[in-house]
Amino acid sequence: MVWLWILIAGIVTFLTRFSMIALINPKKLNNNTKKVLTYVPSAVFPAIIFPAVFLDKQGLFLSSINHPQILAFFIAIIVGYFLKNIILTILSGLISYWMFIFWLS
């Protein structure tokens, strides 16, 4: 019974997301709508990243800045701001995170 509900939830999720791709013709959207839709990734990305960086496993805010993920986050922000390269930003964040894990533990 649980697998049936998981399957139904997966189908509903797929159909709601696929409908935006299959049923909407991008040529019929006006310029204001297209402009607003360009901000969607910028709005969703922080919502995905914030819990991983600033919350612990219980969902509470981290009390100090000495956690490796917060330090690596700030390094990635600085690299991204100056270099404007997403790949180097991700790599700098990952590498600094791994280095802080080994140094701080």
- Using the predicted structure, report yes or no on whether residue 45 has a pLDDT greater than 90: no
Least confident of 2-16, 44-58, 80-94: 44-58
Reported as a pLDDT band with limits 50, 70 and 90, residue 88 is very high
- What is the longest distance spanned by two Cα atoms in the chain? 55
- Using the predicted structure, report yes or no on whether residue 104 has a pLDDT greater than 80: no
The region, left, alpha or beta by phi > 0 then psi within -120 to 50, assigned to residue 55 is beta
Q: Is-contact 71 96, C-beta < 8 A? A: yes
Domain ranges of the chain: 1-29, 39-104
**Type of residue numbered 48:** I
Give the pLDDT score at 56: 87
Higher pLDDT, 89 or 23: 89
Give the pLDDT score at 43: 86
Average pLDDT over residues 99-104: 90
